[in-house]
Amino acid sequence: MIEVTFINADGTKHIIAAAEGVSAMEAAVSNNVPDIDGDCGGHAACATCHVFVEMDWLDRTGRADSVTELPLLELAEGVMDNSRLACQIKLNETLDGLVLHLPRGQF
């Protein structure tokens, strides 16, 4: 299992364990983590799974893809260099311990 910590804008931490191969969005939604919706089911079509990758983890997650993710992230609020669509982060053993921060809300 892969441990992922989601931190809401108010500082609340949600530490969950997910199976290898699922996306960070799927892991969050199936564990009822608030402030991440995943409205399109992970098809990179809604931007309601916007997360900020903790800087120490960016080398391992990679940055947002310019074809798939960046155009959608333009729809999200407060986008930063470490913004990603959580549905595009597939969990694997190199991401065990990953820390993702959530925006104040998803629209």
- 102 sits near ligand FES (criterion: CB under 6 A): no
Q: Which of 38, 53, 91, 99 binds ligand FES (CB under 6 A)?
A: 38
Radius of gyration of the chain (CA): 12
- 45 sits near ligand FES (criterion: CB under 6 A): yes
| Sequence letter at residue 94 | T
- 42 sits near ligand FES (criterion: CB under 6 A): yes
CA dist., res. 7 & res. 4, Å (int): 10
Residues that bind ligand FES (CB under 6 A): 25, 38-40, 42, 44-49, 72, 85, 87
